[in-house]
Amino acid sequence: MAVDTRTPKVAKAKPAATPAKRTSSVALKIFMAVTGILLVLFLYAHMIGNLKIFFGEGTFDHYAHWLRTIGTPILPNEWYLWIQRGGLTIAVVGHVVAATILARRARRARPVKYAHRPKVQGSYAARTMRWGGVIILLFVIYHILDLTTLTLNPKAESGHPYANVVADFAPGRWYVTLFYTLAIVAIGFHLRHGLFSAVRTLGQQKPRGEVIARATALALSLILVIGYLSVPFAVLTGLVD
Amino acid sequence: MDIQVRVWRQSSSEDKGRMVTYDVKDISPDASFLEMLDVLNEKLILDGDDPIAFDHDCREGICGMCSMVIDGVAHGPERATTTCQLHMRHFKDGDVIDVEPWRAAAFPVIKDLVVDRTAFDKIIQAGGYITAPTGAAPEAHSTPVPKKDADLAFEAATCIGCGACVAACPNGSAMLFTAAKVAHLGLMPQGQPERDTRVIDMLQAQDDAGFGGCTNAGECTTVCPKGIPLTLIGRLNSDYRKALRNR
Amino acid sequence: MPEFWNDGDPIADTAAPDGPIETRWERRKFSAKLVNPANRRKLTVIVVGTGLAGGSAAATLAEAGYHVKSYCYQDSPRRAHSIAAQGGINAAKNYRNDGDSIYRLFYDTVKGGDFRARESNVYRLATVSVNIIDQCVAQGVPFAREYGGLLDNRSFGGTQVSRTFYARGQTGQQLLLGAYQAMERQIGLGNIEMNARHEMLELIVVDGKARGIVVRDMVTGEITTEMADAVVLASGGYGNVFFLSTNAKGCNVTASWRAHRKGALFGNPCYTQIHPTCIPESGTHQSKLTLMSESLRNDGRVWVPKAREDKRAPGDIPEAERDYYLERIYPSFGNLVPRDIASRAAKNVCDEGRGVGPGGLGVYLDFADAIGRLGKTAVEAKYGNLFEMYQRITGEDPYETPMRIYPAVHYTMGGLWVDYDLQSTIPGLFVVGEANFSDHGANRLGASALMQGLGDGYFVLPTTLGNYLAAGPFAPIPQDHEEVQKARKTVEERISTLLKVDGDRTVDSFHRELGHIMWEYCGMERTEEGLTKAIGLIRSLKEEFWQRVKVPGTGEQLNQNLEKAGRVADFFELAELMCIDALHRRESCGGHFRAESQTPDGEALRHDDEFSYVAAWEYAGDSGKPTLHKEQLEFEYVHPSTRSYK
């Protein structure tokens, strides 16, 4: 036996503590991509519903009522809606939890910040995903309290969403419109990068596909922003009243 | 030209570290950035000060040893250029230039601008290879490789493992590094048998080493001295998903 | 002259079998003793250096079951300077059906080495060359391929067959990554204990056998003694003795030199290769030189002004006042003369005061004619990446103004003397890659360095080392063994001496001055007078070094100047030996040109009758004279001839 005669090295003799196996960051991201895409599908459905406001109070309120009857008579009234709400809640919570884990990881990955703030190379949208996400979450909570539970709605007439919306965006309540606008723009930014990022996370890998994915993400975000903002601004300008 | 550099000084991994300003007088615009630091160090030594420690070796842009964040950008303002290939002619007389180390938990500072990049070796250890013990190789021409795949594999394999991607990433992620190796080996027919285990194991090693996750922000590819494309991260994600399915 | 050295007994390579050269390696492999697989894990091998030779050796030995301890000064084994090799790797595959064969590669290499290499070794190198390509392809090295998916080849360095395999301009990096990845796999499996940022500072020899090394942890400064059953040096070449070279900044001779001081003979130290197309110095800040592919000379025309000290811009110098000196002196080969001739001619015109650029150390390489003839697009397609590299470094646009080039030290053919088994004169100390002297003779052919490094590491060493280890495991050496403690003390004392001098000159200033002396007197053209003068200058500079060097900081931390100081101290001793070797070899061969030995036309003149031997030098103490041992070279297959390029 020749060896094992080396001088002990304190630093090296100690076996490196095996760190706990972390959940795969790519798996977390795939989860975020899937939940994110589900939420975007919902946003589009929701937007189409919103646009019914331009067809008048009857159409809009009827649409809102119809939502409660989806799935009947196989499902009792409103059951589908609750299933969807449940699904959306799981998606939102899951999306946020995964984002939080990854955000904490990212923060721990760079404990000392650069003295010279790195120049921005990537897009503004990419860098504002996290704060944008927080703003969107706060807005969603407010939005549910406002137009679903009607807790914060000035009119708060159950079964008359058209009236509630019109009351909400009345010119005197400009701050609500402003908050709504900010939130929608935040969603726009979030999706502009988020949609591309989701596609990439799910495996998009061709340079040409990247151009298409980025353009599509931009278009879908713009359509969504315009679609959603058209409602309050129509109310504000009196187009809808 | 005369310039000022503000350099991160940290005597050891335990020290807190701070930025210190030095004057550098009469430097030739033809000097490289590292040669400028050489000149400064010569002066510091003769003045009885501690010279600035920095990693460097080949000084021709291929070994991947040099590693400085210059004015907030990994490897400095020139695209597709390592620090050692950056020349002073890209700066102006009177400039104040900030010089910092790669900053990442997975790359702890050893001294001043020198960081420990062992974490990259750990990622390779986890699966960044093709198992082909010496002597076991078949005749080289027995497996043709389509030129397109060979060229793409080569492009991914040009990664020099410098770590600029991690330094630039807002999340301190090593995805571009891992993606480049996974793509290089995954594009070759020889790399197929271990394709699934490779991507799963390398990603696990990357996560365990304390790197952050990817948000597809693209800062990495912007600073990469070899221009490794961001699309390879998509390829890595796709490989990972398929590997999970095959497991 | 013998005032500088003593003549010793001749030595011989006793490991190589004789008989037909084609089967020597086969027969050596068969006669080599084997180590039982169960015993291999009880045997420890130290490998110093992780380039192509060290990396491939460490991986292969670990795969075979040995316990390997690997050391490199870089922060990762992947960064060894093999990574910078651009051109390619030769192999006698004959995929082109152009008449290549193992024998032809052997023939070309012996001839290219100017008949100063061992036939047995070179034949073996040519034999294993084909296995290297197979091995690298299996590892996933992305070699250039043709549309049919098969490997592409090119002709390189003036050979008439296409046998060079390549991966664009970074063959070295791709091959090294292959070896590195194989090595990391073994590290992950626990078969290699990797020690990056560690520097070998002494060899431990016990009872005449190499049994370990003393290393310094470059991060903490801790000195440790590491024991093993055998030691492999794969620590590269010593071109940095010239300060400016194409080597990486950290490349050094310390590992080899420490082994030399412990008794390993040093072979042909004066054989250095100087590459003609490097980017010239731009000023006193210059820290290293960058090589550009020789292919540039295919279309570029080399010239200098006819008048001395002509400071006009190149465009302002009329055709009639330009001297296309290569075309003038060598009308048939013109700008394509071999490396050494092109290099020497450039030095001569610069010595005449006709050099261009900063300091007058450069000649023009002009593409104006090529651009006029082929068009800018065609030139760009051929040389675009090289032009870009040139512009990045110099800030000048070679499409508009001629490039400036100057020769630079690129490779050292000399190194520790080894036998056919790659074993040095110290039993148990094996030397592979550029660190040994073995395969290139007095001049290395393009694309042969990568071949030798990988051939040694993947195929030769694992067999021959096994033969040595079959006698082991050897008796364990306790840490408090006298030799171990002595070696450790040598290292500690040297470090403390370097730190204690606390003089008024930096390490780099000494290194730069040493480089100037070597470049001036032991560079492209050497004379008895110059070399004698250089030895005197080196000795007094060395003395000054030990009195005036200033090494800041302490030994217990990352101290890059302390590392440099130790390396430069060894370079001083090596430099002296190089000059003595150059002085004693009163002939011109390959990379060694003695002004006294040239044909009437100014070409290198060999003296086969007198100098057809390997000069293996024995260390003789700090102030003593080295002893010269001659290993006579026999040429049974390739008979010495003279080359001509007129």
Q: How many CB atoms lie within 10 A of CB C526?
A: 24
User: Which residue spans of chain C are classified as CATH 3.50.50.60?
Assistant: 6-271+413-469
Residue C514: is its pLDDT beyond 80? yes
Band of the pLDDT at C646, cuts 50, 70, 90?
low
The rounded mean pLDDT for chain C is 95
Distance of alpha carbon A15 from alpha carbon A6, whole angstroms: 16
DSSP class of C474: P
Tens digit of pLDDT for each residue in C449-495?
999 999 999 999 999 999 999 998 999 999 999 999 999 999 999 99
- C520 Cβ contact partners less than 8 Å away, ≥ 6 residues apart: C530, C534
Tokens coding A45: 């459905």
Distance of alpha carbon C524 from alpha carbon C10, whole angstroms: 29
Distance of alpha carbon A210 from alpha carbon A214, whole angstroms: 6
Tens digit of pLDDT for each residue in C321-331?
999 999 999 88
C280 in Cβ contact with C355 (< 8 Å) = no
Tens digit of pLDDT for each residue in C156-169?
876 789 999 999 88
Tokens coding C642: 């003279």
For residue B76, how many C-alpha atoms fall within 13 Å in the half-sphere facing its CB? 20
* CB–CB contact A109 B172 (8 Å): yes
Of all residues in chain B, the percent with pLDDT exceeding 90 is 99
* CB–CB contact C558 B144 (8 Å): no
Which strands make up the sheet holding C301-305, listed edge to edge? C272-278, C403-412, C363-366, C301-305, C322-323
The stretch C57-86 carries a mean pLDDT of 97
Say whether C154 is catalytic: no
Distance of alpha carbon B145 from alpha carbon C419, whole angstroms: 40
- A181 Cβ contact partners less than 8 Å away, ≥ 6 residues apart: A229, A232
The stretch C128-143 carries a mean pLDDT of 98
- B244 Cβ contact partners less than 8 Å away, ≥ 6 residues apart: A27, B200
Which strands make up the sheet holding B69-70, listed edge to edge? B18-24, B3-9, B96-100, B69-70, B73-74
List of domains in chain B: 3-111 (3.10.20.30), 117-246 (1.10.1060.10)
DSSP class of B130: -
pLDDT of the residue at A10 = 37
Band of the pLDDT at B52, cuts 50, 70, 90?
very high
For residue C584, how many C-alpha atoms fall within 13 Å in the half-sphere facing its CB? 28
End-to-end CA distance of chain C: 34
For residue B230, how many C-alpha atoms fall within 13 Å in the half-sphere facing its CB? 24
The stretch A188-192 carries a mean pLDDT of 96
- C151: which strand partners? C145
Which residue type is seen at C98? D
The whole-angstrom distance between B112's CA and the closest CA on chain A is 14
Distance of alpha carbon B165 from alpha carbon B146, whole angstroms: 29
Question: Residue C71 CA to chain centroid, in angstroms?
Answer: 19
pLDDT of the residue at B204 = 97
Of B53, B147, B157, the CB nearest to C146: B147
Residue A7: is its pLDDT beyond 50? no
Tens digit of pLDDT for each residue in C3-55?
899 999 999 999 999 999 999 999 999 999 999 999 999 999 999 999 999 99
The position carrying tokens 């091959």 is: C175
pLDDT of the residue at B244 = 96
Residue A20: is its pLDDT beyond 80? no
Q: Which of C468, C421, C464, C414 is nearest to C440 (CA)?
A: C414
The stretch C387-398 carries a mean pLDDT of 93
The stretch C378-404 carries a mean pLDDT of 92
Q: Which of C347, C394, C342, C356 is nearest to C526 (CA)?
A: C347
Band of the pLDDT at B125, cuts 50, 70, 90?
very high
Strand-strand pairing, C223-227 and C209-217: antiparallel
* CB–CB contact A25 B104 (8 Å): no
Residue A9: is its pLDDT beyond 50? no
Active-site hit among C24, C339, C444, C488? C339
Band of the pLDDT at A120, cuts 50, 70, 90?
low
Q: Return the CATH class of domain C6-271+413-469.
A: alpha beta
pLDDT of the residue at A122 = 64
The rounded mean pLDDT for chain B is 97
Residue A3: is its pLDDT beyond 50? no
The rounded mean pLDDT for chain A is 89
User: Judged by CB atoms within 8 Å, which residues 167-226 of C form the interface with B?
Assistant: 167-168, 170, 172-174, 177, 180-182, 184-185, 187-188, 194, 196, 219
Minimum mean pLDDT range among A70-74, C215-219, C429-433, C573-577: A70-74
Q: Does A18 touch chain C (CB under 8 A)?
A: no
Tokens coding C313: 């811009």
C200 in Cβ contact with C570 (< 8 Å) = no
Distance of alpha carbon C596 from alpha carbon C580, whole angstroms: 16
C153 in Cβ contact with C165 (< 8 Å) = yes
CATH number of C275-410: 3.90.700.10
Please tell me the pTM assigned to this model.
Answer: 0.95
Minimum mean pLDDT range among A16-30, A222-236, C175-189, C561-575: A16-30
Residue A16: is its pLDDT beyond 70? no
User: Which residue spans of chain C are classified as CATH 3.90.700.10?
Assistant: 275-410
pLDDT of the residue at A128 = 85
Band of the pLDDT at B46, cuts 50, 70, 90?
very high
Tens digit of pLDDT for each residue in B203-236?
999 999 999 999 999 999 999 999 999 999 999 9
User: Judged by CB atoms within 8 Å, which residues 560-589 of C form the interface with B?
Assistant: 560-561
Tokens coding B153: 């594999």
Preferred mutation among B207, B208, B238 to probe A, highest tally of A CBs within 10 A: B207
For residue C210, how many C-alpha atoms fall within 13 Å in the half-sphere facing its CB? 33
Residue A5: is its pLDDT beyond 80? no
Residue B162: is its pLDDT beyond 50? yes
pLDDT of the residue at C476 = 95
pLDDT of the residue at A1 = 37
pLDDT of the residue at A119 = 60
Residue C336: is its pLDDT beyond 90? no
The stretch C264-280 carries a mean pLDDT of 96
The stretch C312-327 carries a mean pLDDT of 95
B29 in Cβ contact with C393 (< 8 Å) = no
